[in-house]
Every structure is written in structure tokens, then in C-alpha cells.
Structure 1
Amino acid sequence: MSPASETLASRRGPLVVAGGVFVAFLVSSLANALIAVLAHALGAPEDFDPLEPSSYVFLTALGVLAGAGGWAVVRRFSPDPERLLRRLVASVVVVSCVPDFFLFGEGEVTGVVGLLAMHVVVAVIAVQVYRRVMPVGSVR
């Protein structure tokens, strides 16, 4: 494949990207709902707010949108976006988990482990979607 066709193949229209980001949000929210149900079934307190849909759906939307924005910026401006994204995604997921560790008192171990699982699941789903709708390659 020539560099010109490689660049063209790596670009998606805004509707494809927006649709992909919406799918990442939807699938992530459904996965988080399942994790919340499992966490409650395994003993997480019923009144643990972070496992309520009003909390995790909003934060999932923020995370998926912020991730998409960061992904787009890195693939546009980085000379080696694949390498940078590998490190950046892992680092952001780890940092995003830090506040959860302060919730052990109210969420107990099961609730906090559920939250940590949510972070990882959203990242895995979002990255798979971003790779399809915003492929990393020669985009300049």
C-alpha cells in the first residue's frame, strides 16, 4: 500500500467516529451494569453510590469521550502514536483507579473491586473501538 492510500485508509468520517464512540459508550455502560449487578450480588453495599447507574453511566460517558479526544490528538501529533498510546492508555487507567482506593470504607472490598473492574473494562472496549474508527498509522 502506498503512503497516500495508507493515509486515506486510516481516516474515517466524523459520523463513523461519532458512531464508534457512541457504541463504545453504550457497550461500556452495559458491561458496567453487569459488573455493578455482580458486585452487589457478591456483597457490595446496596447504597454504594458509585455502583448506581446515575454515577457510572455519566462517568463512562466522560471517560469514553476524553479517551477519544486524547486518542485523536495523539494519533494526529505524535511521531509514534502506537507506542505512546500503549503507555498512555495504561497510565491513564492506573491513575483513574486511584480515587477508588479511598472508597474502601463505604464500598468495602467488593464494591471497590467492582469499580476497578469497570475502569479496565471501559478502557478495553474503548481502545478496541478507537482502533477501528480512528486507526493508528500514517494519518498525517
Structure 2
Amino acid sequence: MSPVSETLSSPRGPLVVAGGVFVAFVLSSSVNALIAVLAHMLGAPEDFDPLKPSSYAFLTALGVLAGSVGWALVRRFSRDPERLLRRLVPSVVVLSFVPDFFLFEEGEVTGVVALLAMHVVVAVIAVQAYRRVMPLSSAR
């Protein structure tokens, strides 16, 4: 087995996983901050709470942590984690949109579209991080 194959198939230590999850949070929060600034520039109300850093940073952390737990569980217990996650991740992201649709009056279209974009950003960045620190090939 080559060193690269060995590295990809070996389980990662808890510090590596925690570091990857933390990097996913930092990157997601940074992109979400940019989305919030752009949304305000495009007309989202300044007093729209979900676009305030304290709101989206907390929810980003929660999403990244919950996603990492879900990823680890699927990785551990599924016979075909790749197939399951290919269906599960988009489904969870779409379900996460539901509460945002109730904010149209408060945040107008621009604010709500920004929130929906934030959900997608967090999912894309987190999945890439999880793939690196919790590769599916080492699940079994």
C-alpha cells in the first residue's frame, strides 16, 4: 500500500478531526460574513437579526458540529456511507431552509435569499472538511 493510500484509509485522530471541524466553522463563518455584507448592500434590512454576526456565527457552529456528528455516525454505521450521504446531505440542507421561509416579512427577499445561500455555503465547506478528516474509505 502506498503512503497516500495508507493515509487515506487510516482513521484520523480526534485532534485532526476537531481541527478540520474548526477550520470548516472558520471558513463558513467568513463566507457567511461576506454574504451578510453583500445582502445588506443589496437592500436587506440592517435590523434583520439572522444577518447579524452573533446569529449566523452561532448557527454556523451548530450546523458544522451537528453535521460532523451525523457524518461520523453515518460513516460508522452505514454499509454504504457514500451513497447514504449523497442523499442525506442535500435533504438536510433543503430541510434547513424551512425556517427561513417564515422570515420573508421580516427580512424581505434579499435577506432570506442570503440566509439560504449561507446554508449551502456551510454544507459545501463542511462536507469538504469532513471528507478530509473523516474519509469515507476508512469507515469500515
Class of the TM-score when normalised by the shorter of the 2 chains: over 0.9
Asked if structure 1 preserves the Cα contact closer than 8 Å seen for 2:20 and 2:130, the reply is yes
1:86 aligns with: 86
In structure 2, the residue matched to 1:77 is 77
Q: CA deviation at 1:139?
A: 2.3
Letter in 2 for 1:47: D
Q: Distance in 1 between matches of 2:112 and 2:121?
A: 14
Separation in 1, partners of 2:6, 2:76: 14
Q: Which residue of 2 aligns with 1:50?
A: 50
User: How many matched pairs?
Assistant: 138
- Cross-structure match for 1:22: 22
Matched, 1:106 2:111: no
Instruction: Using the TM superposition, give the Cα deviation of residue 7 of structure 1 relative to its aligned residue in structure 2, in angstroms.
Output: 9.1
Structure 1 distance, partners of 2:133, 2:42, is: 36
> What runs of 5+ residues in structure 2 fail to find an aligned partner?
none
Q: Give 1:29 shift.
A: 0.4
1:109 partner amino acid: V
The percentage of counterpart residues that share the same residue type is 84
Distance apart, 1:69 and its partner CA? 0.2
Q: Any idea what SS the aligned residue of 2:103 has?
A: helix
User: Any idea what the Cα deviations from partners look like across 1:65-91, whole Å, max 9, x if unmatched?
Assistant: 000000000001000000000111000
In the alignment, the residues of structure 2 paired with residue 6 and residue 82 of structure 1 have an alpha-carbon distance, to the nearest angstrom, of 19
Q: CA deviation at 1:138?
A: 3.9
Instruction: Return the TM-score normalized by structure 1.
Output: 0.94
TM-score by length of 2: 0.94
Residues in 2 aligned to 1:119 and 1:98: alpha-carbon distance in whole angstroms: 11
Alignment partner of 2:59: what SS? Answer: helix
Tell whether the 8 Å contact from 2:29 to 2:60 is kept in structure 1 after alignment: yes
RMSD (Å), alpha carbons: 1.6
Q: Runs of 4 or more off by more than 4 Å in structure 1?
A: 5-8
Equivalent-residue separation in structure 2 for 1:39 and 1:103 (angstroms): 15
Is the CA contact (8 Å cut-off) linking 1:7 and 1:139 kept in structure 2? no
- 1:137, distance to aligned residue in structure 2 (A): 1.5
Distance in 2 of aligned mates of 1:94 and 1:23: 24
